Amino acid sequence: MKWLSVTDFVPNFSHNEVKFLAIGLVLEAAAFSYGKLPEMEVRLDFLNLLPLDMSRKILMCFDDVSDIVRASAVSRRWQHLVLGNGLSKHLCFRSFPHLSRVASIVEVMNSEVNGNEEAACSSSRDSKSVQRDHRVYSYLAHASASFLMRNCILEAITASSTDNDPEESITNTLEARDLIARRASYWSSKGHFKPDVSETLIYKLVSNLCVVTEINIRPFQAFFQSGSPIYSSKAVRFRFGHLKHVMDLRSDLAGELHRGSTKEMFTWTYTSPEFPMAQENCLQKFKLPQPVLCIGGILQIELLGRVQRQETDALFYICVSHVQVIGRSLSPAFDIEILEPSWEFILKCNRQAKTYNQLSMLDNEPLTILPTYLERRVIELRQIVNMLRGNVVQGEYYAWGDEEDESDEDFVA
């Protein structure tokens, strides 16, 4: 009679069967190590029955960082397998492939006594750096899945074109309201005879590391024009990336935009598929195929093609009322430093940092007074002064009555 070993069965299992077997055994072993299960006369570590490669493959089936942490707490052997094979790092790389560009890890510790910071750098493979990598990548995987969702846009940087600046500036897309200071709030491109001409909008996110799940866009409906046309695009595409060089986004980018060379200023690390956009006046949600780690905090929205011609000049326009970027900001727990010219980066982790994720930010934005907000206030005050003087600028329309009671139906030229 031939005795069968575990290795005779496991190779015949499917990937999911091995995964469920591994999770069950790990949880049972972890519970036993913490005293959650009654003691048995025979204690058996099933990984001792398997070849090392098979043990590693089983543990690499985990897709939850909490399972990896539990596995590392079962025994010294399990901890060696988890840390030595970099399972938490493997999990992060599987979710966010661009983390392969991490050149080194810096772990920052806050000192509450003297306010100084101590940095521990990891670039070698000694035992301390292996443990540090496990801590940092485990925390990163946890943060990317558990920090609260919020609107991740910090400010609008630039648009490829603007019809009437600043009245129809890209900064208007940060405001969710339809009317600001008695006028419509939206961004408008310049008009074109060809409907296939695209436009781009570029935004700075709230931190250098954000996990983005969806982008929401509301096309603008011109209620003050005959027929109330909606100036949407045919489709939309998204890019995430970072600046190629350290610069002042407002002043330096304005000069580059004037010279028409903004394409040379950014490195794009992710490009989404195209999403069709409906010609509807609603906040349209574009969910990414999977959560994307934006490294560098720059988002470009590509508005592909035009569908609506303006009656007065027979030109095609694209207009946007509002933009949202829904995701998780990993700051200040995580930050990066881009290295030139390789575009690799240093991953900085501060597990002691107080995060903004203790409460939801979706209904409380903005929490700080940004330059874009001040610019909008100046524009609004100037419009009010012009109205009081009787000098209403062409293209500005004012609705009378209480702002709280305003609706789209009341906004008529």
Of 411, 188, 191, the closest CA to residue 310 belongs to: 191
Q: Give the three-class secondary structure for 64.
A: coil
pTM flag (> 0.85): no
The fold of the 150-246+269-329 domain, in CATH, is Jelly Rolls (2.60.120)
| Whole-number pLDDT of residue 389 | 61
| Whole-number pLDDT of residue 246 | 66
Omega into 341 within 30° of 0, i.e. cis?
A: yes
Label residue 321 exposed, middle or buried (CB < 10 Å: 0-12, 13-18, 19+): buried
| Whole-number pLDDT of residue 365 | 43
Domain boundaries, the chain: 6-33+44-107+380-389, 150-246+269-329
Contacts of 237 (CB under 8 A, 6+ apart): 271, 272, 273, 274, 275, 301, 302, 304
Q: Within 13 Å, how many C-alpha atoms sit on residue 396's CB side?
A: 21
Distances (CA, A) of 179 to 170, 172, 306: 15, 10, 24
Farthest CA pair distance, the chain: 103
| Whole-number pLDDT of residue 403 | 39
Of 236, 238, 235, 231, the closest CA to residue 189 belongs to: 231
Of 139, 199, 138, 148, the closest CA to residue 173 belongs to: 199
CB environment 41-54: b (16+ within 10 A), e (fewer): eeeeeebeebeeeb
Of 290, 237, 305, the closest CA to residue 268 belongs to: 237
Note down pLDDT in tens along the chain; length 413 residues: 444 344 444 445 555 555 555 555 555 555 555 454 455 445 566 666 677 777 777 777 877 778 888 888 877 888 888 888 888 888 899 889 989 899 999 988 765 433 444 455 555 557 788 888 999 999 999 899 889 899 999 999 999 999 998 899 999 999 998 887 778 999 999 999 999 999 999 999 999 999 999 999 999 999 999 999 999 999 999 999 998 876 555 555 555 554 455 667 898 999 999 999 999 999 999 999 999 999 999 999 999 999 999 999 999 999 999 999 999 999 999 999 988 778 889 999 998 876 544 443 444 444 444 445 555 556 666 666 666 666 654 444 433 334 334 444 443 33
Of 217, 367, 242, 225, the closest CA to residue 295 belongs to: 242
